[in-house]
A = this chain, B = another copy of it.
C-alpha cells in the first residue's frame, strides 16, 4: 500500500559494496574503527561532521549525568521484563526505553526548546536575555504550560549533577547563551510562580549541549542512548541476582483493592 507521496527510500548515512562500508562519506574500516571514541562516532553519525573537542566532551558529560539513577520506574520495568523473559535481553532493554517518554526523561528536549526560544527572542527582539527569559516564562505560566526542567521529586536543592555539568562546560569553554538562559529562568521563577524551582538535570543537559553545538532535534536521543547503557548494567546485575519479581512483590504487597468482592470472599493477607 502506498502511503504518502514518496516511493523511493533515500538515505545519506551508509552505503557499501563488497569491500567497503561507507559511513557519511568515510570508509568505516579504514577511517573510523580504532580512530574515534564511541561518543565521537555517535555525533559524526548524527550530523555528518566530526565534532569539536568541546562538543564531544560535553556529550560525554551529559550522557554520564543521565545514564543511571537507581531503581527508577524504567529500570524496574526492564528488570521485571527480564525476570519474566530471560531469553530476550533485547526485550528487557526495549521495555526500559519505552519509559523514556515525556514525563520522566522527555523534559530534556522540551527544556532545550524553551532555552532556544529565549535565545532567539533576545536576538530577534533586540532585548536582553533577562527580559526574554522573563517574557517567555510568563507566557508559559499564562498558557498553563508546564515549565520543563525545573524542580525534582528528590533533590529539593539544586541537583548536584547540574553544577557538575555547568562547571564542565565552563572548563571546556563551551558555555554560552543557552546556559545563561537556563539560569535566568531559575531566577525569574519565584517572581512568576511564587515559589522556588531549581534547575534540574533535564534543564542542564540541553543548556550545556546546545551551547556546545549539539543538534536541537536530537536532544531526546541523549537520555535514550544513556539509559540503554544504564539498563545493560542493571540487566547484567539482574542476570546474576534477580530482583525483578521481588520488586513487583513489594509493589503489589502494598497495593489496595478498592473494587467489590463476591459474598464470602476474604482477603488472604
Residues of chain A whose beta carbon lies under 8 Å from any beta carbon of chain B: 1-4, 6-34, 36-39, 41-42, 45-46, 48, 57, 59-61, 63-65, 67-74, 76-78, 80-81, 83-95, 97-106, 153-157, 160-161, 163-165, 167-168, 171, 215, 217-218, 220-221, 224-226, 228-230, 232-237, 239-262, 265-268
Contacts and interface: CB of A to CB of B under 8 A. Distances in A.
30 contacts: A1-B252, A2-B153, A3-B73, A6-B245, A8-B254, A8-B255, A9-B243, A9-B255, A11-B256, A11-B259, A16-B154, A22-B261, A30-B164, A33-B164, A33-B165, A45-B229, A48-B259, A71-B255, A77-B78, A77-B81, A85-B99, A87-B101, A89-B221, A90-B100, A90-B101, A94-B98, A95-B95, A225-B228, A225-B229, A250-B250
A33 B61 contact: yes
A44 to B, nearest CB: 9
Nearest to A58: B34
Given A9-B256, A248-B251, 4 more contacts: A8-B246, A38-B226, A48-B259, A86-B102
Contacts of A72: 1, 248, 252
A232 to B, nearest CB: 4
A10 B245 CA distance: 12
A230 to B, nearest CB: 7
B37 A60 contact: yes
A229 to B, nearest CB: 4
Given A30-B164, A237-B12, A258-B12, A266 B41 contact: no
A268 B9 CA distance: 18
Interface centre among A1, A63, A97 (most CB of B within 10 A): A1
A104 B254 CA distance: 21
B217 A224 contact: no
B101 A85 contact: yes
A163 B11 CA distance: 27
4 A-B pairs with least C-beta separation: A85-B101, A25-B260, A34-B168, A12-B259
A8 to B, nearest CB: 6
Contacts of A3: 73, 83, 104, 153, 245, 248-249
B248 A250 contact: no
Contact of A22 (B16, B41, B105, B262): B262
A183 B41 CA distance: 28
A117 B95 CA distance: 32
B251 A247 contact: yes
